[in-house]
Amino acid sequence: MSIKVGMVSLGCAKNQVDGEMLMASLKNAGFELVDDAALADIAIVNTCGFIESAKKESIEEILELARLKQEGRIQKLVVTGCLSERYQKELHRELPEADAVLGIGANKDAPELLKKMMQGGFVESFPEKEKMPLCGERELSTPSWSAYLKIAEGCNNRCSYCAIPLIRGNYRSRTMESIEEEAKVLVENGAKELTLIAQDTSCYGIDLYGEYSLAKLLKRLCRIEGLSWLRVLYCYPDSITDELLETMAGEEKIVKYLDLPLQHASGKILSAMNRRGDRESLTALLKRIREKAPGIALRTTLITGFPGETEEDFTELAEFVKEIGFDRLGCFAYSQEEDTPAAEYPHQLPEEVKEHRAELIMETQMNLMQRKGEQFIGKTLTVLTEGFDRYGECWFGRSYRDAPDVDGKVFFTTDGKKPRLGSFVQVEIEDCMDCDLIGRMVL
């Protein structure tokens, strides 16, 4: 009888792709995959260990599955992903309920390790993180029409607040050939939209080809027949080239959307973060992006309450947010992460101050997004259909302005017609409610 395996994958899309490769390797080794980890013989938690809130979520999920194991509903519990890579020595001691703890470098050996675990006894494996495969067969956890495409692993930026280099290692680009090959397979299997991800996508190729090569990669991917949308996330502002912007503006398949995690606008705070630039240089960059690619939707993420952030620094950030008018924005309170330089900085701020400042930024942004959404009333947008909302009795999907999982939706009626899931439809926008667009299908 085959052994049933289910996974709970937490954290970012990059971790999700790793989990998809892990599950494919288990399937190929004869394990039976189930969608619900609570119904499996082996439950795997693919953890996130980036910031404190993510670590808590991972631990809560492990403990919940441990309870099911104690009740006899699952047999074995496996912990992998960023949390196990980051806390190799501590995790089994703190969470003895786990039957196996695997670092990210152990992903390729997972089938053998899980078979060993089933024979009895605790299993742990922490090979060098660089042994984690950059690519491979995947068991997609996203809808068939949309998939993430990871183009690199690790990070060289060394921002002072960030634990990613400790967990994931140095930047490693995949070859253009391997990315293109995987993209073709994904499209052949039904993907209409591919979302490019890495810790820093705009740095792609610098290690392999000696130059920023994202623009060249995008041009190659645009030639894939059957692909409709290409989306780019996680671009570092220092490596946004004119060639990249001109490519984004000139290629029809690249949606006019760019994600730039800027983190702050105060030059003093950015310097303390070990990032370059200030409000003036970032404003100039965003102006250049909008000039090169008119109509582009800009997304960013920000951090409030970084050590030493004064009221003046925060005011500068708040004014920057109002001035730029980002289409999409996420703001997070600074998380003091051990083993990062910023964790040892003086002038750490109280949690309530950090959280309050983040709430103020998001309040401003929600008002901005509502006003921006209202500007689309009367216009027609191409929408990728994703589902039917039974409560609202309408369909929903995403426009070019909406990345999977992190942005808003477009809700629309159809005069009784049923669009296919994964199909593109034209929607005339009639309203904006809580930053989501509301309309009716016209084609």
Write down the pLDDT at residue 57. 83
Do both 59 and 156 map to the same domain?
A: no
Mean pLDDT over residues 262-277, rounded?
A: 95
Do both 246 and 321 map to the same domain?
A: yes
Write down the pLDDT at residue 355. 96
- pLDDT of 61 > 90? The answer is no
Lowest-confidence segment of 130-144, 301-315, 358-372 by average pLDDT: 130-144
Does 135 map to a domain? no
- pLDDT of 169 > 90? The answer is no
Do both 223 and 347 map to the same domain?
A: yes
- Evaluate whether 149 touches 186 at the Cβ level (below 8 Å): yes
Do both 44 and 76 map to the same domain?
A: yes
- pLDDT of 51 > 80? The answer is no
Do both 350 and 232 map to the same domain?
A: yes
Residues 172-229: pLDDT tens digits? 999 999 999 999 999 999 999 999 999 999 999 999 999 999 999 999 999 999 999 9
Which of residues 130, 154, 170 is at a domain's end?
130
Question: pLDDT band for position 83 (50/70/90)?
Answer: confident
Region for residue 370 given its phi and psi (left: phi exceeds 0; alpha: psi -120 to 50; beta: otherwise): alpha
Does 221 map to a domain? yes
Does 242 map to a domain? yes
Distance between start and end Cα atoms, the chain: 50
% of the chain surpassing 90 pLDDT: 60
Write down the pLDDT at residue 175. 95
Number of structural domains in the chain: 3
Do both 227 and 83 map to the same domain?
A: no
Does 139 map to a domain? no
Do both 118 and 178 map to the same domain?
A: no
Which of residues 345, 373, 401 is at a domain's end?
373
Global confidence as pTM? 0.91
Write down the pLDDT at residue 134. 84
- pLDDT of 6 > 70? The answer is yes
Write down the pLDDT at residue 191. 95
% of the chain surpassing 70 pLDDT: 99
Write down the pLDDT at residue 94. 80
Write down the pLDDT at residue 1. 60
CATH number at 81 reads 3.40.50.12160
CATH number at 430 reads 2.40.50.140
Range of the domain at 22: 4-130
Do both 314 and 400 map to the same domain?
A: no
Does 244 map to a domain? yes
Lowest-confidence segment of 20-34, 35-49, 332-346, 401-415 by average pLDDT: 35-49
Residues 224-253: pLDDT tens digits? 999 999 999 999 998 999 999 999 999 999
Which of residues 373, 395, 426 is at a domain's end?
373
- pLDDT of 50 > 70? The answer is no
Question: pLDDT band for position 58 (50/70/90)?
Answer: confident
- pLDDT of 73 > 90? The answer is no
When the pLDDT of each residue in the chain is averaged and rounded to a whole number, the result is: 91
- What residue has token string 């209202």? 374
Does 136 map to a domain? no
- Evaluate whether 34 touches 69 at the Cβ level (below 8 Å): no
Do both 37 and 122 map to the same domain?
A: yes
Do both 200 and 104 map to the same domain?
A: no
